[in-house]
């Protein structure tokens, strides 16, 4: 028995890797029509091709969400391809540079917010316009535990994820009577390929890291994908405006985050 809304289509952003790839695979493998989008065209073709080889119903659109015309186009293509949009997963994110906030420039903050907040809000708006016609739909925004537990040198990203949390609640308040539920998930330390590569560059191999979760392991993209599937499906039909933390207890752990590092400020040298 599936736990995911069956019809119409599902739109997943940032689908070429990590959490987005796991979400796309889970929805598609369970028989749902899925539109995948990412600016990584090669990664998108890889996951899309693999899913098609398994007989899944998928459409791929290579697109950078920094383009202000992208949200309207992506929703329109999903509606045209599958007859409507039933689930939106706002997963794509731009992390920006790791640097002292004293070194950051306003344009760098704008680049982060354009993808993480403005594009996500626009996608939600256009998706909700279609969902409202059927008085049903689910929007799931991917946040981060960094909104509450920030590590150094990610100020723009942390601020953007705080905005995503507020946006989730605001949209839930506005869209509830239209039958549209809006929730978020906040992943902790998740063992994506990009995360593992960064760990390898910062440490003597990921195996040397004391994982910060209480469960003694990295989370997996699939851990997050299954929570997103729950929030998209009928068993969460009375859940809206909520944030589900998927961090293995990281939020109550006193262990050091593997990404935390001392940074050099341009003024003090410390």
What residues contact 170, with CB distance under 8 A and at least 6 apart? Answer: none
**CA separation for the pair 223, 265 (Å, rounded):** 36
Residue 233: exposure state from Cβ atoms within 10 A (0-12, 13-18, ≥19): middle
Number of residues that this document lists for the chain: 270
* Longest Cα–Cα distance in the chain: 59
Catalytic residue among 126, 154, 157, 211: 157
- Asked if the peptide bond before residue 202 counts as cis, ω within 30 degrees of 0, the response is no
157 in catalytic set: yes
What number of other Cβ atoms are within 10 A of residue 214's Cβ? 14
C-alpha distance from residue 66 to each of 69, 113, 118, 199, 270 (Å): 9, 9, 9, 27, 34
**CA separation for the pair 31, 247 (Å, rounded):** 28
Closest CA to 31 of 11, 5, 62: 5
Q: Say if CB 84 and CB 13 are below 8 A apart.
A: no
Structure tokens at 225: 């994908």
Q: How many helices (H) and strands (E) does the chain have?
A: 8, 7
Residues known to be catalytic: 157
């Amino acid at each position: 028995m599936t736990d995911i809304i069956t019809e119409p289509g599902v739109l997943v952003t940032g689908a070429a890797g990590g959490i987005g790839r796991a979400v796309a695979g889970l929805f598609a493998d369970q028989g749902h029509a899925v539109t995948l989008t990412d600016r990584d065209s090669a990664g998108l073709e890889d996951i899309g091709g693999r899913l098609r080889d398994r007989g899944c119903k998928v459409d791929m659109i290579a697109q950078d969400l920094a383009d202000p015309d992208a949200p309207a186009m992506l929703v329109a293509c999903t509606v045209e391809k599958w007859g409507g949009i039933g689930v939106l997963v706002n997963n794509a994110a731009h992390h920006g540079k790791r640097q002292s906030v004293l070194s950051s420039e306003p344009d760098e903050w704008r680049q982060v917010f354009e993808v993480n907040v403005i594009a996500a809000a626009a996608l939600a708006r256009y998706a909700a316009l279609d969902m409202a016609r059927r008085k049903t739909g689910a929007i799931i925004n991917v946040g981060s535990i960094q909104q509450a537990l920030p590590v150094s040198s990610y100020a723009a990203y942390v601020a953007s994820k705080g905005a995503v949390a507020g946006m989730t609640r605001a949209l839930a308040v506005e869209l509830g009577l239209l039958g549209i539920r809006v929730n978020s998930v906040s992943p902790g330390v998740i063992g994506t390929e990009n995360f593992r590569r960064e760990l390898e560059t910062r440490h003597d191999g990921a195996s040397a890291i004391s994982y910060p979760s209480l469960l003694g392991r990295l989370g997996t993209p699939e851990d997050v994908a299954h929570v997103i599937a729950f929030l998209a499906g009928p068993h969460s039909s009375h859940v809206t405006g909520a944030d589900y933390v998927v961090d293995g207890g990281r939020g109550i752990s006193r262990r050091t985050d593997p990404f935390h590092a001392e940074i050099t400020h341009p003024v003090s040298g410390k």
